[in-house]
C-alpha cells in the first residue's frame, strides 16, 4: 500500500505561503492538486469584509480547487497564540463572532470540515474555567458545523513547540471530543490526527491509529525532524498512512509541511503527479 492509495490536499497556509492568498489556489492546481485546506486566512480579524470572503471563494472556484478543511479563527497562527476558544475575554469573544461566518463560508464552497483550535493556558486563570469556556464554545461550533453539513475537528499540537497548549496527547483531544459529542448529541466532533504533532510528543503513532482511527475525521502529515516533506526526516509516513487505510480511514490527508528553502511547487517530488489530483 503506497501513497497512491490516499487522497491528498495541500494546506495553503503553510505551502505556497510565499504567494498572496488569492494566488495560492491556482498555484496548487498548477502543481496538480485539486483539493486544498486553510487555517483561518485573516489572522487579524474573525469577521473579514464580505468582499474578501467572496474573493477567496472566486479564487478557489477559478482554480478548480475544492476546499476540504478550514480552521475557525485561531488568533495569530502560525505564532504563539495557538487558538482562541478557551481564552477568556476578547479572544473567545472573537472566536464566537467567527463561528457562523466560518460555517457560512464553508457552506458556500462545500467544505465539510471545520477545525477548532483550543487556546493556550492563561497564567492566573484556573484551567477548569478555561475548559468550561472551551466546551461551551466547541458546542456552539459543533452546532454551526452540523447546520452546514460539516464535521468539527479538534487536534493535538505538540508540547515542544506549543508548551502552553493543553491538548498535547491524542487521549487529551479524544476526551474533549467525547465531551462535545455528549453535550450536543450530534456526534460530529472528530479527531484531527496530525502525525507530525503526535511524533513530536513522543507518542506511538501506530497505537494512536489503532485506538482512534474510528474517531478520526481528518489527517495531516509532515516529516520529523524538521516538519518538512515526506522523505526529509525519519518518520515512516507511507507505512503509517497504510495503517490508517487498513484501520478504515478513507478521508483526506492534508500536506501541512514546510517547503524548505525553495518554492513550494518544488517540494512535491515525493508524490507522483498522477497521485496529486483528488479521485
pLDDT band, very low/low/confident/very high, at 98 (cuts 50, 70, 90) = very high
Return the C-alpha cell found at 175.
476526551
Q: Return the domain boundaries, the chain.
A: 3-271
Alpha helices in the chain (DSSP H): 24-30, 50-63, 90-108, 127-147, 170-184, 195-200, 205-212, 237-246
For the stretch 135-145, pLDDT in tens is 999 999 999 99
CATH code for the structural domain at 3-271? 3.20.20.150
Mean of pLDDT values over 80-84? 77
Residue that is written with C-alpha cell 473567545 in the block? 92
Q: Tell me the average pLDDT of the chain.
A: 96
Integer Cα distance of 189 and 224 in angstroms: 27
Which of 199, 187, 194 is closest to 173 using CA atoms? 194
Integer Cα distance of 253 and 217 in angstroms: 10
Which has more pLDDT, 179 or 75?
179
Integer Cα distance of 119 and 26 in angstroms: 32
Start-to-end CA span in the chain (Å): 16
> 225 preceded by cis ω (within 30°)?
yes
DSSP 213: G
Integer Cα distance of 25 and 258 in angstroms: 17
Which has more pLDDT, 222 or 1?
222
pLDDT band, very low/low/confident/very high, at 258 (cuts 50, 70, 90) = very high
Asked if pLDDT for residue 1 goes beyond 70, the answer is no
Supply the pLDDT for residue 81: 63
pLDDT band, very low/low/confident/very high, at 80 (cuts 50, 70, 90) = low
For the stretch 195-210, pLDDT in tens is 999 999 999 999 999 9
Percent of all residues in the chain with a pLDDT value above 90, rounded to a whole number: 94
Can you list the pairs that 173-179 forms with residues at least 24 positions away whose Cβ atoms lie under 8 Å?
Answer: 174/212, 174/215, 176/118, 176/134, 176/135, 176/138, 177/215, 179/135
Supply the pLDDT for residue 76: 80
Return the C-alpha cell found at 230.
515526506
The single residue of 155, 238, 243, 266 carrying the catalytic annotation is 155
Integer Cα distance of 255 and 269 in angstroms: 13
Mean of pLDDT values over 90-97? 96
Residue that is written with C-alpha cell 505564532 in the block? 79
44 is catalytic: no
Distances 106 to 20, 112, 122, 177, 241 between C-alpha atoms, Å: 21, 7, 30, 21, 27
256 is catalytic: yes
Supply the pLDDT for residue 82: 74
Least confident of 56-60, 82-86, 194-198, 264-268: 82-86
Asked if pLDDT for residue 121 goes beyond 60, the answer is yes
Asked if pLDDT for residue 152 goes beyond 80, the answer is yes
Instruction: Point out which residues pair with 9 in neighbouring strands.
Output: 254
Per the document, the length of the chain is 279
The single residue of 37, 91, 203, 256 carrying the catalytic annotation is 256
Amino acid at each position: 500500500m503506497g501513497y497512491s492509495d490516499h487522497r491528498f490536499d495541500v494546506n495553503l497556509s503553510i505551502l505556497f505561503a510565499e504567494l498572496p492568498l488569492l494566488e495560492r489556489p491556482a498555484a496548487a492546481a498548477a502543481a496538480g492538486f485539486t483539493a486544498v485546506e486553510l487555517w483561518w486566512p485573516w489572522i487579524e480579524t474573525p469577521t473579514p469584509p464580505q468582499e474578501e470572503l467572496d474573493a477567496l471563494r472566486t479564487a478557489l472556484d477559478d482554480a478548480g480547487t475544492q476546499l476540504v478543511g478550514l480552521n475557525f479563527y485561531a488568533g495569530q497562527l502560525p505564532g504563539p497564540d495557538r487558538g482562541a476558544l478557551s481564552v477568556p475575554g476578547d479572544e473567545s469573544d472573537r472566536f464566537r463572532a467567527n463561528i457562523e461566518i466560518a460555517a457560512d463560508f464553508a457552506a458556500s464552497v462545500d467544505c465539510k470540515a471545520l477545525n477548532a483550535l483550543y487556546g493556550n493556558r492563561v497564567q492566573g486563570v484556573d484551567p477548569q474555567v478555561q475548559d468550561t469556556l472551551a466546551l461551551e464554545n466547541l458546542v456552539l461550533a459543533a452546532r454551526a458545523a452540523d447546520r452546514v453539513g460539516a464535521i468539527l475537528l479538534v487536534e493535538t499540537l505538540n508540547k515542544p513547540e506549543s508548551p502552553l497548549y493543553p491538548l498535547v496527547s491524542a487521549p487529551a483531544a479524544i476526551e474533549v471530543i467525547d465531551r462535545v459529542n455528549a453535550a450536543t448529541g450530534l456526534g460530529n466532533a472528530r479527531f484531527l490526527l496530525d502525525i507530525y504533532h503526535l511524533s513530536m510528543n513522543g507518542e506511538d503513532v501506530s497505537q494512536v491509529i489503532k485506538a482512534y482511527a474510528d474517531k478520526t475525521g481528518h489527517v495531516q502529515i509532515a516529516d520529523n525532524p524538521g516538519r518538512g516533506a515526506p522523505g526529509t526526516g525519519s518518520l515512516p509516513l507511507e507505512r503509517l498512512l497504510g495503517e490508517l487505510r487498513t484501520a478504515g480511514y478513507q478521508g483526506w490527508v492534508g500536506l501541512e509541511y514546510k517547503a524548505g528553502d525553495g518554492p513550494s511547487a518544488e517540494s512535491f517530488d515525493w508524490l507522483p503527479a498522477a497521485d496529486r489530483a483528488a479521485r
